[in-house]
A and B are shown apart, each in its own frame.
Chain A
């Protein structure tokens, strides 16, 4: 099927020319993706290596304190496991999109590439927001405890664990912000595509 777009006839290919491909927002896209990639990777790595061992006095029998060695690991909480998995998937997605950015023009077919990028971006935003907010509320519970349910806070004893968790959360929220901006730009690209196709068919 011959490409029917008339604005920029490309030599013998299925390429769909996009209006304003070099607008400032669209040129910024690879840089934003790189930043989001670094943010998600660092969030995942910091949380995955989050571990703290501490020896605590749990009881006193007579005059000898009974010590127990407790370890706080991220695997103990399903919310943190989900956080690591979500950020891993998001970093994989960002890596894939970065590669597609530079090599994708060979695989274009009537603009499906832009649609797939927009949809996958939205899915990643959903997944990362889920992971980040679950870890945030779990961290809040660990920091403040819950007196109604008789759950004690654990951040006063395992402070390094909590600090590392804080850092990973901040990185993940930064990645979420960047991913939202990237999603908006992808949707704008889709719209530019739509306009360029539409206007070319008008007499």
Chain B
């Protein structure tokens, strides 16, 4: 039940267009709970879900690739245009910065999307095997590992590229310890806020999901390792509008 609740929360916090693209965990669970779950139906549903993930993921990825190039191009043009004109550069770069951060965020959310759905599939298969004393899980999950939506390498690569680009487009970091608290509430545009909220929710969800369960086994993930003394998360706790369990 825990995962079901978590994924529901995730979906609620996610970007609007994404909401119907997640795993229909509850429906699948209900199917399993029914008196005589038919394997072919169950597998059929799972395959349909996988197709859905693949289609969405690949399309998002395509959009990202296009946007990635366009953003690079924009920066290039700006750098050229500004030449030695630092002031002009500074003025124009702010918009681009926002776009970079939001773009980065969306890509990370796509990786998160992939992961959540994978986790959900793994869990639902586990439940199925438990219910039917069957061995559907292992071979099926093997197949899932080769699905397009699970292969997030490209998106991750783009994510990392933008992380390294940050230095070029952001000013040198000043002492920011006290600034974080103020900042969290100032998170700029609506789009950014949506992404930010979603990201925070995703992190918290992940933490919760890995905290340990009654069915903890060799197939379970270890607890999440984010030190609570971390500045970043501490500031989130202070100002995040998302209820923290």
A in complex with B: no
Seen from chain A, the residues whose Cβ lies within 8 Å of a Cβ on chain B are none
